[in-house]
Amino acid sequence: MNSTVLINTDRILLNPDNRKQAFGLFVLSYLLISSLFIGLSIQMTNHFSIPLATFIGLAIIFTIWVKIIRVTLATGYIKNNVVIVKLLSERSFVLEFICIKKARSFSLLGLSVTFLKFKFDGVEYHTILCGKPMQGGTIETVLKAHKHAYKQNFKKSKP
C-alpha cells in the first residue's frame, strides 16, 4: 500500500460494526453450553445441590466473561492519519499509528479475529476486532500497511 491512502479523507472501516451482534452470539452460545452442562449434571446425579452449584458456578463465570468482553470487543476505523477504536462499552479512542504496539490476527470460520494492543495516555489497552476487513487481507495487514505508510510520511515531513 502506498502513502496516498492516508491522504484520502474517507474513513476506512477495519471491521463491520457488529459488536452487539457478536456479543449477542457469545451470550447465546454460552447459555446453550451452560444449559447443556446443567442438563448433564441433572442426568448424572439425582441430587438437587450439584445442578444448583453448577448453575451458580456458570453464572459467576458468565458474569466475569461479560465484563471482560464488554471492555475488549471493538470496531476500528482509519481516517487520515489516525485509528479510531470504539469499544462495546461506547468508549472511543483516537490513536496515531505509533500508539499501536501489536496487532495479531487469525482466521476462524471465515472471520478475522484481531487482538490489538495499544498505548493511550500511558495506559496499555487490549482490544478484540472481529469481522472481515473492508479492504483486502486481514485487519493486521491493513494496519501494518497503513502504519508503514504513516512512518514514511512522517520521515518525509521532518526537516
Confidence of residue 5 (pLDDT cuts 50, 70, 90): very low
On whether the pTM is more than 0.75, the answer is no
Measured CA to CA, the distance from residue 110 to residue 76 in angstroms comes to 18
Pair 86, 73: CB distance under 8 Å? no
Task: Return the axis-axis angle of helices 19-44 and 49-72, rounded to nearest 10°.
Answer: 170
pLDDT for the residue numbered 124:
92
Q: What separation in angstroms does the CA of 18 have from each of 5, 32, 69, 82, 94?
A: 25, 21, 13, 21, 19
Confidence of residue 3 (pLDDT cuts 50, 70, 90): very low
Neighbours of 131 (CB within 10 A): 21
Average pLDDT over residues 5-25: 64
Measured in whole angstroms, how far is the alpha carbon of residue 85 from the centre of its chain? Answer: 9
* Residue 114 amino acid letter: T
pLDDT tens per residue, range 78-132:
887 788 888 888 788 998 888 888 888 887 777 778 898 999 888 899 998 877 6
Measured in whole angstroms, how far is the alpha carbon of residue 71 from the centre of its chain? Answer: 9
Give the residue extent of every domain in the chain: 4-17+74-157, 26-68
> For the domain with range 4-17+74-157, which CATH number is right: 1.20.120, 2.30.29, 1.10.1760, 3.40.50?
2.30.29
DSSP state of 3: T
Residue 63 has pLDDT above 70, yes or no: yes
